[in-house]
Amino acid sequence: MGLAWQQGPLATRAVGHFLVEQPLPERMLFAEPLRRRMRVRFGGEWVADSEDVVLLHEPGRYPVAYFPLADVREDVLVAENRTTTHRDLGPTEWYAVWTADKHAPRAAWRYTGLPGHADVLGDRVAFAWRAMDAFYEEEERIVGHAADPYHRIDIRQTARHLVVRDGDRVVAETRRPVVLYESGFAPRWYVPREDIDLSALTPVEGETFCPYKGLAGYFDIGSGKRAAWSYPEAWPEVERVSGFVSFEPDVVDVTLDGRKLALEPGQSVTPHGIDRGLDPDELLAPKGN
């Protein structure tokens, strides 16, 4: 998902490789100006507001926004008696975040002994995503994690012949699936409901949230748990897959033009830490100021 996540070029499991004579370091961090106004809401108050945010891409992590200390309210950061060490960036001091009506421990951090090549992060602080009420770009709330400018989704109509079976039962058959190509992931095939035996799909509790596609619901198929999923109201950028269903090729039998599909590398998502976790409740929370 983007530059350093899943199978992006700076991820530890990159699907491609740089054409250079000498191998690159195993871990490469990339920092860049976000070039967007970003704000942080906590306890009903704005605690940070900046047009000078630096975005850090770290292998295997979602991007993290770093705010200049000068653009953070002076009274909201309270130093904790806690210091950790980042494997690449050195000593890390932690802060609680306080407002009149709310406080959160271990909710922000900054690096205090940066190596020279990383001084772009000097005198900057990052806020734990899940500890804050909300993050905004201008007046629009950003959910899940800081937006990754290298993340892209393309959706293409196709006439490929896709068949889904649960044992001998044909669950779906179509010659009009759409394929969703998402940065860092193998292609996903989505089937219109008209081409699915919906009686084979049993809705299950639990949703997941993608910051690029929206809320997904899941289905069991026979004994296969969470064998399929759908975005009932996909976000406008990907509304072409709204209501369509995609199937897990490691749970049910999925063939494309007669070729059996397998779970390819990059298909699964692993959350990395509570501050970067994805939670459906984030999408349902009020988006206003």
C-alpha span between 216 and 52 (Å, rounded):
34
Q: How confident is the model at residue 282 (pLDDT cuts 50, 70, 90)?
A: low
Using one digit for the tens of pLDDT, what is the confidence trace for 162-199? 999 999 999 999 999 999 999 888 899 999 999 999 99
Residue 96: pLDDT over 50: yes
Query: Is 236 within 8 Å of 214 (Cβ atoms)?
Result: no
Give this prediction's pTM: 0.88
C-alpha span between 178 and 189 (Å, rounded):
6
pLDDT of residue 132: 95
With CA atoms as reference, report the closest residue to 261 among 158, 161, 143. Answer: 161
Percent of the chain with pLDDT over 70: 91
Using one digit for the tens of pLDDT, what is the confidence trace for 114-163? 999 999 999 999 999 999 999 999 999 998 889 899 999 999 999 999 99
C-alpha span between 191 and 99 (Å, rounded):
48
pLDDT of residue 274: 47
Alpha helices in 65-216 (DSSP H): none
DSSP character at residue 119? G
Percent of the chain with pLDDT over 90: 75
Q: Are strands 214-221 and 169-174 parallel, antiparallel or unpaired?
A: unpaired
Question: Topology of 30-150 in CATH?
Answer: 2.170.150
pLDDT of residue 265: 67
> CA 152, 157, 160, 163: dihedral to nearest 10 degrees?
80
Higher pLDDT, 13 or 20: 20
pLDDT of residue 177: 98
Q: How confident is the model at residue 222 (pLDDT cuts 50, 70, 90)?
A: very high
Question: Topology of 153-260 in CATH?
Answer: 2.170.150
Residue 246: pLDDT over 70: yes
Q: What is the mean pLDDT of residues 96-104?
A: 96
Domain ranges of the chain: 30-150, 153-260
Tell me, yes or no, if the two domains 30-150 and 153-260 fold the same way.
yes
Torsional class of 123: left (φ above 0), alpha (ψ -120 to 50), beta (otherwise) = left
Residue 78: pLDDT over 60: yes
Provide CB contacts within 8 A for 150, sequence distance 6+.
2, 3, 8, 183
